[in-house]
Structure 1
Amino acid sequence: MTRIIHELAEIGGDYGVLFCDLWGCVHNGKAAYPAAIAALQRWRQGGGKVALVTNAPRPRAMVERQIDRLGVPRDAWDDIVTSGDAAQDAMFSGRVGRRVWHVGPDKDLSFFTDTADPRAAGLERVALDEAEGIVVTGPYDDLTETPEHYRERLAAARARNLPLLCANPDLVVDYGEQRLYCAGALAQLYEEMGGEALYFGKPHDPIYDLARRRLGVGRDVPALAIGDGIGTDVAGAVAQGIDSIFVTGGLAAEFMGGDVESPDPALLERWLDGQGIHPSFAIGRLR
């Protein structure tokens, strides 16, 4: 049974490494959560290491600039590891060819350009009918578009058996009070149509391997994952064989009762049973 905790300090001493999700846990896309920042600072002051592990499809440097603007201080983390980092390496290695159709907004163009990797020089962004593969960083307009806007174009890609590289496995994210679709939702639709999708962010191994290398720790160091995505953050922790804290006040808040800070135990267990996955711990908000 998942144990409900009220603050990270209740269990923090049992672990040396924290893999903490960003969106929904440390910020909501518009502002940082002060209590979450204080919890991460206390963790590091106690000798633990923090990797902010995010399914953002952008390279680390761009995410660092973003959280700086949102008010996440540098003393709250040791490193940032993004799905974009792990997927970028696969793209430059030619996993979906050298001529790719990019689906994503202009803000994600750094995924192709923010690198010193010499392999980037041989990559070309082209129209769908000229492509060898697809790279999805998100909808072109995530404020208005849904996966259904892409069904016809994805069907054309599926007819040519184009592989799809998904730079962000998240299905949705909450931007303030608005729920937006992510690259993972487009990849999911493509798979439902019979297409091949490749993933490199949570819950898949590459992003955790990269986080450990960045922190300089091995699998022998007890680790804890925190996140509000049951199918990404918690599922990833289970696959890694590590404990997890599910932040119930994020994506699943509507199912947990009227107090976002304190999930209803019965509602939580019923919802987790329906998901078929149980985190080690649950908390309303990271603090």
Structure 2
Amino acid sequence: MTRIISDFAEISTNYNLALVDLWGCVHNGERVYPAAEAALQAFRKAGGCVVLVTNSPRPTAGVQAQLDAMGLSHDAYDGIATSGDAAQAGMLMGAVGRRVWHLGPEKDDSFFTTLPDWAKDQPEIERVSFDDAEGIVCTGLFDEWTETPEEYRGRFLSAKARGLKLLCANPDIIVDYGDKRIYCAGALAQLYDQMGGESFYFGKPHPPIYDLARRIATSKGVKFSEDRAIAIGDGIGTDIKGGLVEGIDTLFITGGLAAAEFGPDVENPDSKLLQDWTATQEIVPTFAIGRLR
């Protein structure tokens, strides 16, 4: 059974590493949650290490710039592991070929232009038209504000017939940007899989991003131990499932994507509703809290 806590400090001394989701946990796409920032600062001040683990399709530099623009203090975290970094490595290794069609908005161009130093030793990745592509690199919808995945069904039928594989740079299905809910690359990859296509995933809940996060923690002097690490986030099928697969404790932020499921008080989830809902998901977090604080 999931234990509901009132603040992270109740359990934080049990851990030396926190793998913390960003969107819906630390910020809402527009502003940082002050209580979450303070909780992470307190954890680090007590000797803990915080690695922000995000399914953003952007490399770390892009996420860092976004966090700086929102004003998240640098003393709230030690490092950042992004799905973009992990997926970019897969692309550079040729997971979907060398001639790729980019499915996603222009804001994600850094996925192809901001490359790690070791990329210079790899064969070039060329962005080409859909008709000339050997594979698809998906960072999102072309217009995430107005489009839905169903609008890509026709293009995906053609891609499947040609045997194109799809590299998904962000396994999230949806995300809340302020008050608006938008689809992510994971929704497109999910549709492609349902249609019989083949997609590769690198972000949560899949192993590559956790391997990256552990390497970042190790570089900060943290000796990784499963019983001393906790995954924190609002995505039951990404943050929490990923943590469970990695064999570590989890803290579910109920006031995020699934907030409407747990009663009218976002800060204080209803215990019965939480237990019933997690049972239907067949994913049971170790702990839960309304908002990270």
TM over 0.5: same fold?
A: yes
Given that 2:217 and 2:224 are in contact with CA atoms closer than 8 Å, whether structure 1 keeps it comes out as no
Q: For 1:186-205, what aligned pairs fall within 5 Å after superposition?
A: 186-205=188-207
Aligned residue for 2:172, secondary structure, equals coil
Instruction: Provide the residue aligned with 1:66 in structure 2.
Output: 66
Q: 1:218 to 1:150 in 2, by over 3 A?
A: farther
Distance 2:155 2:179 in 1: 30
Task: Count the aligned residue pairs.
Answer: 287
Given that 2:105 and 2:143 are in contact with CA atoms closer than 8 Å, whether structure 1 keeps it comes out as yes
Read off the aligned partner of 2:189 and give its amino acid letter: A
- 1:82-138 CA-to-partner distances (Å, cap 9, x unmatched) read 000000001001010000011000000000000132156611111111110000000
Given that 1:82 and 1:201 are in contact with CA atoms closer than 8 Å, whether structure 2 keeps it comes out as yes
Given that 1:142 and 1:182 are in contact with CA atoms closer than 8 Å, whether structure 2 keeps it comes out as yes
Instruction: Provide the residue aligned with 2:80 in structure 1.
Output: 80
Instruction: Provide the residue aligned with 1:208 in structure 2.
Output: 210
How much has 1:214 moved relative to structure 2? 1.1
Could you tell me the TM-score, scaled by structure 1's length? Answer: 0.98
- 1:31-65 CA-to-partner distances (Å, cap 9, x unmatched) read 00000000000000000000000000000011000
Q: For 1:1-287, what aligned pairs fall within 5 Å after superposition?
A: 1-115=1-115, 116=117, 117-119=119-121, 122-216=124-218, 217-220=222-225, 222-287=228-293
Read off the aligned partner of 2:54 and give its amino acid letter: T
- 1:208-260 CA-to-partner distances (Å, cap 9, x unmatched) read 11111111145426100000000000000010000000000000001110000
Aligned residue for 2:89, secondary structure, equals helix
Distance 2:98 2:199 in 1: 17
Given that 2:18 and 2:49 are in contact with CA atoms closer than 8 Å, whether structure 1 keeps it comes out as yes
| Alpha-carbon RMSD | 1.0
Distance 2:248 2:216 in 1: 18
Instruction: Provide structure 1 residue ranges, at least 5 long, that are not aligned to the other structure.
Output: none
Distance 2:39 2:160 in 1: 46
Distance 1:64 1:177 in 2: 23
Distance 1:170 1:158 in 2: 22
Distance 1:57 1:196 in 2: 19
Distance 1:93 1:59 in 2: 16
How much has 1:11 moved relative to structure 2? 0.1
Q: Percent identity between the aligned chains? A: 61
Read off the aligned partner of 2:182 and give its amino acid letter: L
Read off the aligned partner of 1:250 and give its amino acid letter: G
Given that 2:16 and 2:229 are in contact with CA atoms closer than 8 Å, whether structure 1 keeps it comes out as yes
Distance 1:220 1:239 in 2: 14
Read off the aligned partner of 1:42 and give its amino acid letter: A
Given that 1:21 and 1:54 are in contact with CA atoms closer than 8 Å, whether structure 2 keeps it comes out as yes
Distance 2:114 2:3 in 1: 42
Given that 1:92 and 1:119 are in contact with CA atoms closer than 8 Å, whether structure 2 keeps it comes out as no
Instruction: Provide structure 2 residue ranges, at least 5 long, that are not aligned to the other structure.
Output: none
Q: What stretches of structure 1 move > 6 A for 4+ residues in a row?
A: none
Aligned residue for 1:211, secondary structure, equals helix
How much has 1:71 moved relative to structure 2? 1.4
